[in-house]
Amino acid sequence: MRPSEGLTGGADALGSDLAAEIAAAWERERPGTPVTSIGVVSRIWALAKAFGENRRRVLASAGVDAATLDLLSTLRRGGPPYSLTTRDITDRTLVTAGAVSQRVARAERQGLVRRRPAGDGSRAVWVELTTEGHAAVERTVDIVLGQEVELLTALDPDQQELLAELLRVLLHDVRTRFGEIPPTHVGT
């Protein structure tokens, strides 16, 4: 059974599909052209754009930018005392040390984090959530993740789990064969 067959109304209920139209046009104009990737890649691109735009709108309404939320979320996910070195943050966010430094400086000016030297004679710097930063991430992460749950309601929980696993496998393979391509931020 195709995934769309389980939806109310069948595949026709899904409406127009630009990816399918593009693949059909290439098959018509250049028979034998490999077009199977179009259905996957084009839809992933379209979803990435839609999800990204949705997240930008949600974050704008919450008064937080994506880079700051990424920093605050990384510290919050680290658990008490919600403090990591800048090196740990760099490793966990897959952005450059320079980008982390800029994010930390901006969040510190906003009163969301504070920096302190490691105190062990090294040049390491610890970054910790302030009370304001903790409150901001708690408030914002619920809004963002709640909206993202809403974006996935066309899929039942089993379909969501299957899609997540298939995407994990594909991402692992792409990274293994073509090298790590670090995103600007991952998740929340």
Sign of CA dihedral 155, 147, 132, 66: positive
pLDDT tens by residue, 143-184 = 999 999 999 999 999 999 999 999 999 999 998 998 876 554
User: Is 57 found in the same domain as 134?
Assistant: no
Cβ atoms of 133 and 107 within 8 Å: the answer is yes
User: Is 41 found in the same domain as 29?
Assistant: yes
User: Is 185 found in the same domain as 95?
Assistant: yes
User: Is 105 found in the same domain as 42?
Assistant: no
Percent of the chain scoring above 90 in pLDDT: 77
User: Is 69 found in the same domain as 33?
Assistant: no
Full residue range of the structural domain in which residue 113 is found: 65-188
User: Is 176 found in the same domain as 87?
Assistant: yes
Domain boundary (47, 62, 77) is at 62
- C-alpha 137/C-alpha 84 separation (Å) is 16
pTM attached to this predicted model: 0.75
pLDDT tens by residue, 13-53 = 555 689 999 999 999 999 999 999 999 999 999 999 999 99
User: Is 95 found in the same domain as 80?
Assistant: yes
Residue 62 pLDDT greater than 70, yes or no: yes
DSSP code string of 58-110: HHHHHT--HHHHHHHHHHHHT-TT-EEEHHHHHHHHTS-HHHHHHHHHHHHHT
Query: pLDDT-based confidence at 11, cuts 50/70/90?
Result: very low
Residue 54 pLDDT greater than 70, yes or no: yes
What is the mean predicted confidence (pLDDT) over 48-70?
A: 93
Q: What is the pLDDT of residue 118?
A: 79
- C-alpha 93/C-alpha 187 separation (Å) is 9
